[in-house]
Homo-oligomer: A and B are copies of this chain.
Amino acid sequence: MQLDIGKPILEKNDALAHENRQLLDDKGVFTVNMLASPGAGKTALILATAEALGDACRIAVIEGDVASRVDAELIKAQGIPCVQINTGGLCHLESQMVAAALGQLDLDAIDLLFIENVGNLVCTSDFYLGEHCSVVVLSVPEGHDKPVKYPGIFQAADAVVVSKVDALPVFAFDERAFRTSMSDLNPLAPIFPVSAVKGTGIAAWTAWLKSKIESFGGLA
């Protein structure tokens, strides 16, 4: 006898993710699942995005981490509503965790919700959480070869943010090779080179995000 363990887990996850999505649709909360390696700069990007969008867009964050409240404290310090999920060892968020976190947020007062997933370029992309789009953040120091080595997550992304571009002079990141592998894997996903610390590229990234929120019917 062989048990196909993966299938029922994913089916159960997806069923609840569809319920999350229904709730987010009903409440008009555009939701982005942020995926990346550990330390790629997801939190810094969210903070820079919130600052750029300003009062026009009411943001909240669900923070996923194996342990600690480090990122949630950074987000809350900027006055942004935030719910921390500690997975206690699990390498990715699942939809029932997000459902519980949604219950702790005032969804009527949110236009844009970021779900900052656990830092992981593999497992996170298997679990749909109910989001409207998924964005992969790849930092320059990680190297241009990551789409070739971790194709699944880059293939499924709605957009890719290349973060820490202020470090380009220090690292051998071959932007051309990166763009070639992305156009092989996922030619329709826009690529946004950004530096959250310097502010580079934040305008183009937030303009795209705003257009997605507007097509969704938010920020009316």
Contacts and interface: CB of A to CB of B under 8 A. Distances in A.
A38 B121 contact: yes
* Size range of the chain A interface in the assembly: 35 or more
Stoichiometry, as copies per complex, reads 2
A5 B164 CA distance: 39
A188 interface: no
A204 to B, nearest CB: 23
Interface string A28-54: 000000000111100000000000000
A15 to B, nearest CB: 18
Nearest to A3: B3
Contact of A121 (B68, B120, B142, B164): B120
Interface in A47-92: 65-68, 70-71, 89-91
A151 B70 contact: no
Given A89-B122, A91-B122, A164 B149 contact: no
30 contacts: A3-B3, A3-B5, A5-B5, A37-B38, A37-B119, A38-B121, A38-B146, A38-B149, A39-B143, A40-B142, A66-B149, A66-B151, A66-B152, A67-B148, A68-B149, A71-B149, A89-B122, A89-B152, A90-B122, A91-B91, A91-B122, A91-B123, A118-B122, A119-B121, A119-B149, A120-B120, A122-B123, A123-B123, A141-B142, A167-B171
